[in-house]
Structure 1
Amino acid sequence: MKTPTIRVRKLLAAMSPREKLGQMTQLSPEFFIPHPETHSTGPLQSLGIQAEDLPRIGSVLNAFRPSVLRELQVRHLEEDPHQIPLLFMADVIHGARTVYPIPLALASSFNPQLLAKASALAAGETRQLGIRVTFAPMADLVRDPRWGRVMESSGEDPYLNRVMSRASVQGFHQGWASKEQALRLPRPGLASCVKHFAAYGAAEAGREYNTVELSRLTLQQAYLEGYRGALEAGAELVMTAFNTFEQVPCTGNAYLMRQVLREQLGFDGVLITDYAAVAELIHHGVAADGREAARLALDAGVDIEMMSANFINYGEGLLEQGALSLARLDESVARILTLKEDLGLFDDPWSGIPEAVSDQQVFAGFNQGERGKSSRATALEAAAGSMVLLQKGRALPLPPQTRLGLAGPFASTPDILGGWSLSAGADTVTVADGLRQEMAAGQLAALSLGLDGMDPDQPLAGPGLTAGFAQTPTIYAARVTDAQLLTQAQACFADCDIVLLTLGERQELTGEGSSKTDLNLTPYQLQLLRVLGQLGKPLVAVVFSGRPLLLQTVAQTCDSLVQAWFPGCQGGLALAQLLTGQRDFSGRLPISFPLAVGQLPLYYNQLNTGRPYEPDQGETRFVSRYLDQGNDPLYPFGFGLSYYRPELHDLRLERMSAARDLKDLAQQTPADTACLKVTVNVLNPHQRAATETVQLYIRDLVARVSRPVRELKRFTQLTIPAGSQQMLSFILTRADLAYYDSNLQQRVDDGEFDIMVGTSSADHLSQRIHLTF
C-alpha cells in the first residue's frame, strides 16, 4: 500500500471511527438536497442514515449539474470539521455532452488511438462539470449478446478487451483543456474506475445479475485480461461485480478482491462496490443482515460502499465487537484520502466547478470553440470507423444521381445514441439529416414516416417493453396485411432507384437490466423488410443496435447490409458519408453474430473438443455439432468488408533469440522475450487508397491444458496508397505464447504453433512453426 502523506496521517489521527465510515460511504445527490415532500421519509430513512451523518459522507454519485455540485461542496465544507472535500463520481460511459459511439461500437474500430482521443475529449467535458471520477471502462469479457450490457464492452476477445481498456483509461487520464482552462485545471483528465470485478459478463444465459459459473483457470486465461489492460494504464479505482464467483458474491469475495486483485494484479487503489451491492449480499444468502453484509465486504477489502449504508450503520458495532480492526478501517480511509489528495481536491475543492454561470451556459459552451469543433470531428471519425459493412451488393456505394427512398424506425429519429447517454439527442445528426447534407438536392426522393417499422396500430407490448417494439410474437397484434403495406410502399417509393431501410432495437432496450431471450427484429420490422424486398429495387439495410441481432433473414433479403450499432451524435452524417463512398468502411466485428440464439454463448476462440466437427467430413453425427444448425456464426469475430480491400500475400516467419533465464513472464519486457517475427505483404491493387485491419492469431497445438483453436495476439490498421504495397511486421514475445496451466502457473512450452494472419478470425494465411524456448 502507498505510504500515506503527512496530511493523510494527520487526518486519520483526528477522525472518529464514524467519520471514517462516512468517507467509506457514497450517496446520490437527493440525500443531500432537502425536498419538503421526501426528505423526512425518503432517501435518508430508506437507508437508515441520520441527518447528522451527511457531513461525514465522502463521495457523491451521478450529480451532473454544476450548480448542484457547487452547492453540495459549499455546504459540505461548511459542515465538515476536517474540511475533507467531497469527491464526485459519475457514469460517463461514451461521452458527456458530445456522445460518441457506444463502447462495443468503438471496439469495432479496432483503433485504440481513436478510442483514447474520444475518451480524452469526454473527460474534458466532464471535468467542466466538476466530476473527477468516471465509472468506466467496463472491461468485462462478453460472449453472450443476450446480456444487455454487452453494449458497454469491447466484445468477446481477451486481447482486444485488454488493448481497448488500456486506451480508454489513458484517454480519460489525458483529458482535454484549452490554454485558458489549463491554467485553472492542472489535471484536466478524469480518474478511472474499471468495472466490474470480476467476470460480470459471463452471467448464465445472458440474464442480468445472474450467477456466474467459471473456473479459476478460465478466469485467468480470458476474463482478467480486460482488467489487466485498465490497471496497466493506471486505473485508480476498481468496482466490484454484482455476480457470484465460486458461489460467493464478488463484493464479499476475499479470494477475488485480495488474492487476485490486490496480490496478483498488484492493485493498490480504491475498491468501490456497485449500486447497493453490499446490501445485496443478504439476497445472495451469504449474510443474514446488514451487519454481516458489512463485515463480509470489509473482510474482502472493499473501501467504499455505494448507495447502501451498512458500513456507517454497523461499522462501529463491528469495531466494538472485535470483528473489525481500526487498522483495517484506516487502510480504506487512507486510500480514499490519498485519491482525493492525488486529484488535488484538498488544494482546490472547486476544481472544474464553474462559478457565476448557469448550467445552461456551461452546457452550451461545450459546443463552442476549439473543443466543440474537435469533439464533433472526433465523434464523426469514431462513428464512421465503427460501422461495419456486413454485406456488399451492387447498391453500394450509392451511385451518383441515385434517387433514394428511406424507411424504417431509425430514419429520422435522434435516438441513435445508445444507453448511458448523458445528452438528450438535440444535437444528433439523424440518418435523414445526414443524407440530405451529403446528397444532392432531390436525391433523397422519399422519406416514409408511415412505413417506419413501428406498428401504426400500437401492438401490445410485453412486460417492461415499449409499445411498438414488442419482442414476443405471440402477443403481437398486426393490423396491416402484407398486401396493404406493399401497396403503400409501391406508391411511396415509385420514383426511387434504391431503398434504404433502417432497422434495429430501441436504445432504451440495451444496457443494464436489458437482457433478452429473443434477438430477432420485431414482427413489424420483419414484415416491413419482407414487403420492401418485393419492390424489385435494391434494398440496403442499416441496423442500429447495442448487441448482435439475428440478421440472417435481413442478409437474405437485402442487397447490402450495414451494422451501425448506436453511433452517437454524428451517426447520421457518418453513415451518409460511408454510403455515398466519401469514406470507406473500416469497422470490424468485435463479437460474433449468431445464426440462432441456441448457439449462445458463441465465440471464435473456443476449445477444439475431443470430437471436433470438420465440414468436409460430411454428415457425421457423433461429433461436436448441432443437428439443426451449423456451428459457425453468421458473421465471425474480426469480420468486416470495405469497398476497396488490400490483399495479403507472402506470410513469413522468422525465429528470434529470446532471453531464457527470466522466470517471471509478467516482469519481462518485449525486448527480453521476442521470439518470433511475422511479416506479411499488404498489396493494394485498387486505384484509390485502401484501409485494412490486419489481424494475427496463434494456436498452440499441444499444451498442458487444452488451448483455443485461435487467439488474437496482434492487430494493426493501416492505409495503403493506391497501387502500392507494404511489408507489415509483427513481433511475438514469449508472453504472447504463454498460458496458465491447471495449477494456475503461467508457462510457455516448446512445440508447434500455427501462426495465422488475415482479415478476420475465419479468413487468414497460415503457417506452422516449431519453437524452442
Structure 2
Amino acid sequence: MKKLAVLLWFAVPVLVFGQDKDKFINDLMRKMTLEEKIGQLNLVTGGEATTGSAVSTDVEKKIRSGQVGGIFSLSGPAKVRRAQELAMQSRLKIPLLFGMDVIHGYRTVFPVPLGLAASWDMNLIERSAAIAAEEATADGIAWTFSPMVDICRDPRWGRIAESSGEDPYLGAKIGAAMVRGYQGDGSFKENSTMMACVKHFALYGASEGGRDYNTTDMSRIRMYNEYLPPYKAAIDAGAGSVMASFNEIDGIPATANRWLLTDLLRKEWGFKGLTVSDYTGVNEMIAHGLGDLQAVSAKAIRAGTDMDMVGEGYLNTLGKSVKEGKVTVAEIDAACRRVLAAKYDLGLFKDPFKYCSEERAASRIYTEKTRAFAREAAAKSFVLLKNKNRVLPLKPNQKVAVIGPLVNNKENMGGTWAVSEDRNNSVTLLEGLRNGPAKAEIFTARGANIYSDPQMDANAALFGKTTGRDSRSDREMLDEAVAVARKADVIVAALGESAEMTGEASSRTQINIPDNQVELLKALVATGKPVVLVLFTGRPLTLTWENDNVDALLNIWFAGSEAGNAVADVLYGKVNPSGKLPVTFPRNEGQIPLYYAMKNTGRPHSGNPGFEKFRSNYLDAPNTPLYPFGYGLSYTTFRYSAPVTDRAVITAKEPVTVTVNVSNTGDYDGEEIVQLYIRDVEGSVTRPVKELKDFKKVFIRKGETVKVSFTLDVSDLSYYYSDLKLQAEKGIYEIMTGPDSAETEMVKLELR
C-alpha cells in the first residue's frame, strides 16, 4: 500500500511542472476545501525537541486527513519518509514541510551563535551554516528556525547566547551570512540547502528585566535605527521565512501585530515568504489578555501569521471564525498560498522525498572534514581577555593541573540549542589537552559542582543534560583540587556556566560565576601558581574579581563538538586567539543595560576617574564596562596609526577612503579585527557616541605593517529621523578606528 501511494503521487504532478508556480498553486487551491487550506497552516511537532509543555497528538491521523502542513523536530530519512508517505495518502497528496531548530550546527556542533559572532568572520559563519544545512538536509530537514538576529543589550536574558550580540551592523552582517549559508543561491535546486527562518520578529532581545517572554516597549525611531536592521538584512539576503516573536510591540503581541507582520514586513520591506508563530505563540496571547483561542487565532491570521506552531488554534477555530464573519476566506487563502509556495520553491511538489536519502545521511553527517572545520571555528571564536606576564601560550613541558566542573563534561561542550548533537562525540577540555603536546603532564580534579545548591544545579541541567553532579561535599572536592594543583606548574581552571544556564527560559538576575566555583578559584589562586581561567559561558558575566586576580582569562563560550581540541590548540599556541567581543561585559548587574553605542545625556560624565556630582554616573562604580564591545587580546601586539582620509569632504557622488596602518609589534603572527566607528557630531535628533560601520579581519606577520582601507559613502552616514525617513544629515562626522570600541583614534569628515 505504501509503494502504491508513492506511485500514484508521482503520476499526478509530472504534467504540471512545465507550468509556472502561480498557475500550479492556483490550480491546486481550486481543488482544496477550506478545511484542507486551514490544515496547511498547522505546524505540529514530532517530539524530538520541544520548547514548551504542549505536544502534538494524533499526528498520523491528521496527516492522512490533510490537517497538517508541516512537522518540526522529526529527523532521519526513514522517519521523514514515513511521515511523507502518510501525506501521500491524503486526498490531494500535498507534501509536508519538515523543520528543525538547527541553530549552530546539526550533528557537527559549532560554537553557540554569540561565540560564532566573536569571530567577526563572515566567511566562517556562512560556511558553518552551509555545513549545518548539508547535514540537516541529509537527515530529512528542509527548514531551519535560524538565524536568530535579535539585538540584545541585557545579558540577564538567557537567549543572548543565540544572538549575535548588541550591535545592529555586526548583527546584520551575520544574519545575511547565515541566510546565504543555509539557502545557497536561494534556488534550492540542490538537496543540500534549506529554507532559513529569521527570528524572532521583532525586538525579542529587548525584553524588560532580561526576563524571557517578557514585555518589550520602545519608540519607532529606536526600532528602525538599532533593532530592526539585522532582520531587514537577513530578509534582503533572501530568507524564505520569518518567525514572530513572543513579546508585544505597542501593546500588541507580535503574533497578532498587523503593523509588524503586514505593514512593515510585507508592504514596506517587500517580504514575499512564509511567516510562522513561535511555539504555541498563538495560544499564549490568551494570557496576554487578547481573548479566547478563537479570538486570538483570528487576530493572528488577520495580522499576517501564516502558520500556527503546535497550538492548533487555527485548525480548531478558523472554520468557525469564517462562518461567523470574523475571518475571511481570502485571509486564509493568502496564508495557505505562502505555505504552498515555500513547498514549491523547495522542490517538494516535484519530489516529496527529495530530502530522504539514506546514502547522504550515512556519508555527509559528522565527517572528518566537518569536525576539522568545527575545530577551526571554535578556536577563532575564543576571546583572550587577559594574559598577564605572557602566561599563555603554555609550554609543552609544563605540568598542568586541569580543575573544575567543566573539565571533562561532554554534555556541556555544545551549549544551548544543540538539539541534534550526539553528546558522546563531544571532545572535552581534558581530552583535548591530552591530545596536545606529548610531553605535557596533566593532573585533574573536579573541585566543585556547577552550583553548591542541588536545586540550582538541577535548574542548570535541562533538555536531558546533566551537570555531572558529584555527591561529595564542597570541602572534600576543594581540598582534593588544591592538593592536585600544588603538583603542577600552572593551573587551568575550567569554570563558568553549564550549557543550559543560558538559552531559552534561562534568565539570571545575577550573572556571576556561581559562588562555590569562585571559592574554588580563590583557593587555586592562593596556591601561588599561575592560574588560567578557561571560561564557559553563553553570556557576558561579571568578572571583576576574576580579572583582578587570575593570570590569564580565555573566554571559550560553548565551543561545540571539537571544544577540547580547539582549546588545546589555543592554550598551547598552535592557534593565536583572534576573537573580539560582540557584546559588552559589565562590571556588575547594576550597570545593565550597558552597550557601547549609548547616547550622551545633557550632563555626561567627563570620562575622568572618579564620581562627579550632578553628572550622569554612579556613586559606587564607574560608567565604563569591564570589557568593551570589540575587545580581545592576542598573543602578539598590534600598534595602530591615526586614521587618515583621502579627502576632507564627502558628498553623495564622492565616497571617502579611510586608511589606517596596523603593525604587528609582537613575537607571533596573528589576525586582527580592525574596526571603524562613526559619530554624527551635530544632528537633528540625538545620536550614539559611536556606531560600528565597518571592520576587516587581517592577517599580519610579526614585524609586518599592513595598510587597511575602508570606503565610506553617504549611506554609511544615514539614519532614520523621527519621521522614519532614512537620510544623511550634512555636517561634521567623527571617523574612528581602533582595536575595539573604547580604544580608537579619530579624524573628522564633513558631509556636504
TM-score by length of 1: 0.89
CA distance in 1, matches of 2:206, 2:624: 20
- Give the distance between the partners of 1:501 and 1:529, measured in 2 at CA: 7
- The C-alpha deviation readout for 1:262-286, integer Å capped at 9, x for no partner, is 1222211101110111111111112
1:307 alignment counterpart = 310
CA distance in 2 between counterparts of 1:218 and 1:649 reads 34
Q: 2:403, 2:481 within 8 Å by CA — same for their partners in 1?
A: no
1:471 aligned partner: none
State the number of aligned residues: 717
Over 3 Å counting, the alpha-carbon distance change for 1:261 and 1:8 in structure 2 is: same
User: Is residue 2:131 matched to residue 1:136?
Assistant: no
Shift of 1:769: 2.4
Query: What residue number does 2:51 align with?
Result: none
Taking the aligned partners of 2:687 and 2:649, their CA distance within structure 1 comes to 25
Shift of 1:4: 4.9
Letter in 2 for 1:77: M
Asked whether 1:573 is paired with 2:565, we answer yes
The equivalent position to 1:411 in structure 2, one of 407, 411, 429, is 407
Residue of structure 2 in register with 1:158 after alignment: 168
- Give the corresponding residue for 2:76: 65
2:87 is aligned to 76
Among 542, 549, 568, the residue aligned to 1:557: 549
The correspondence for 1:381, drawn from 376, 382, 392, is 376
Match of 1:681 in 2: 661
1:453 is displaced (CA, Å) by 4.5
The residue correspondences of 1:92-103 to structure 2 (distance < 5 A) are 92-103=102-113
For residues 561-710 of structure 1, the aligned pairs below 5 Å read 561-616=553-608, 618-655=610-647, 660=652, 675-710=655-690
Corresponding position of 1:392: 387
Q: Which residue of 1 aligns with 2:157?
A: 147
| Deviation of the 1:254 alpha carbon | 0.7
CA distance in 2, matches of 1:771, 1:93: 41
Q: 1:42 to 1:645 in 2, by over 3 A?
A: closer
Q: Which runs of 4+ in 1 moved over 6 A?
A: 656-659
Q: Counterparts in 2 of 1:246-395, with a 5 A limit? A: 246-286=250-290, 288-355=291-358, 362=361, 366-367=365-366, 372-394=367-389, 395=391
- How far, CA to CA, are the matches of 1:488 and 1:460 in structure 2? 20
Q: 1:480 to 1:366 in 2, by over 3 A?
A: closer
Pairing of 1:109-124 with structure 2 (within 5 A): 109-124=119-134
1:364 Cα offset (Å): 7.3
- In the other structure, the counterpart of 1:472 is none
Q: CA deviation at 1:658?
A: 6.8
What is the rounded CA distance, in whole Å, between the counterparts of 2:185 and 2:536 in structure 1? 29
Shift in CA distance, 454/675, structure 1 to aligned 2, threshold 3 Å: closer
Q: Which residue of 2 aligns with 1:205?
A: 209
Residues 25-52 of structure 1: per-residue CA shift (max 9 Å, x gap): 1011269xxxxxxxxx98448x9x9858
Instruction: Specify the SS of the correspondent of 2:655.
Output: strand
Cα distance in structure 2, aligned partners of 1:408 and 1:688: 30
1:61 shift after superposition: 1.4
- Map of 1:43-62 to 2, 5 A cutoff? 43-44=56-57, 51=62, 54-62=65-73
Task: Answer yes or no: is the 8 Å Cα contact 2:84–2:96 preserved in 1.
Answer: yes
Q: Which runs of 5+ in 2 are unaligned?
A: 1-19, 49-53, 463-470
Output the CA distance in 2 between the equivalents of 1:332 and 1:684: 56
Alpha-carbon offset, residue 185 of structure 1:
7.0
Q: Are 1:543 and 2:535 an aligned pair?
A: yes
Q: Shift of residue 329 of structure 1?
A: 1.8
Say whether the 8 Å CA contact 1:44–1:50 is kept in structure 2. Answer: no
Distance change >3 Å, CA 312–CA 373, structure 1 → 2: same
Q: Specify the code of the residue in structure 1 equivalent to 2:101.
A: D
Question: Does the aligned pair in 2 maintain the 1:756–1:764 contact within 8 Å?
Answer: yes
Instruction: Find the aligned partners of 2:370 and 2:381 in 1 and give their Cα distance.
Output: 16
> Residue 23 of structure 1 contacts residue 56 of structure 1 at CA under 8 Å; is this kept in 2?
yes
CA–CA distance in structure 2, aligned partners of residues 411 and 245 of structure 1: 43
Measured against aligned partners, the alpha-carbon deviations of 1:512-544 in whole angstroms (never above 9, x if no partner) come to 111110111112101101100110110110110
Query: How far apart in 2 are the matches of 1:658 and 1:613?
Result: 31
TM-score between both structures, scaled by the size of structure 2: 0.91
Structure 1's unaligned 5+ residue stretches are 32-40, 177-181, 469-476, 661-672
SS in 2 for 1:655: coil
- Alignment check: 8 A CA contact 1:656 1:675 kept: no
- 1:314 Cα deviation after fit: 1.7
Asked whether the 8 Å contact 2:43–2:71 carries over to 1, the reply is: yes
Report the identity percentage: 37
Structure 1, 189-198 or 733-742: larger mean CA deviation: 733-742
Corresponding letter in the other structure for 2:660: V
The residue identity in structure 1 corresponding to 2:605 is Y
Give 2:503's aligned residue.
Answer: 511
Indicate the SS of the match to 1:105: helix
Kept after mapping to 1: 8 A contact 2:145/2:196: yes
* Residues in 1 aligned to 2:669 and 2:206: alpha-carbon distance in whole angstroms: 40
| Cα deviations by residue, 1:575-630 (Å, 9 ceiling, x for unpaired) | 11111111101000000011111111111100111111123275321111111111
**Which among 179, 201, 225 is matched to residue 169 of structure 1?**
179
Query: Deviations for 1:275-327, whole angstroms, at most 9, x for unmatched residues?
Result: 111111111112x2111111111111111111111212221222222322222
Per the alignment, in what secondary structure is the counterpart of residue 88 of structure 2?
helix
Amino acid across the alignment from 1:724? E
Structure 1 684/13 Cα, relative in aligned 2: closer, same or farther at 3 Å? same
Secondary structure of 1:191's aligned partner = coil
Which residue is equivalent to 1:428? 426
Q: Name the CA distance, whole Å, in 2 between partners of 1:262 and 1:98.
A: 35
Q: Per the alignment, in what secondary structure is the counterpart of residue 548 of structure 1?
A: coil
Secondary structure of the 1:562 match is strand
Match of 2:468 in 1: none
Counterpart amino acid of 1:604? Y
CA spacing shift, 1:686–1:84, aligned 2, 3 Å? same
Alpha-carbon contact 1:406-1:444 (below 8 Å) kept: no
Change (3 A) 1:540 1:349: same
1:740 paired with 2:720, answer yes
The alpha-carbon deviation at position 5 of structure 1 amounts to 2.0
Question: 1:310, 1:322 → 2: CA distance?
Answer: 17
d(CA) in 1 for partners of 2:453 and 2:709? 56
Aligned-partner Cα distance in 2 for 1:205–1:142: 12
Query: How far off is 1:447 after superposition?
Result: 1.1
Describe the shift of the 1:602–1:446 C-alpha distance in structure 2 as closer, same or farther (beyond 3 A). Answer: same
- The one-letter amino acid paired with 2:580 is R
* Alignment check: 8 A CA contact 1:4 1:334 kept: no
CA contact (8 A) 2:413 2:427 kept: no
Is the alpha carbon distance of 1:190 and 1:602 closer, same or farther for their aligned partners in structure 2, counting shifts above 3 Å?
Answer: same
Structure 2 SS opposite 1:680: strand
Q: Does structure 2 conserve the Cα–Cα contact (< 8 Å) formed by 1:122 and 1:175?
A: no
Which whole-Å CA distance do the structure 2 matches of 1:118 and 1:30 have between them? 26
8 A Cα contact 1:27 1:61, kept in partner: yes
Look up the SS of the partner of 2:709 in the other structure. strand
- Structure 2: how far apart are the matches of 1:507 and 1:693? 28
SS in 2 for 1:339: helix
> Is 1:720 aligned to 2:720, yes or no?
no
Counterpart of 2:253, as a letter, is: P
Distance in 2, Cα, partners of 1:313 & 1:719? 58
C-alpha root-mean-square deviation of aligned residues, in Å? 2.5
The counterpart of 1:14, out of the listed 12, 24, 31, is 31
2:378–2:560: 8 Å Cα contact kept in structure 1?
yes
Aligned pair in 2 of structure 1 residues 495, 298: CA closer, same or farther (>3 Å)?
Answer: same
> Residues 426 and 486 from structure 1, CA distance in 2 versus in 1: closer, same or farther, beyond 3 angstroms?
closer
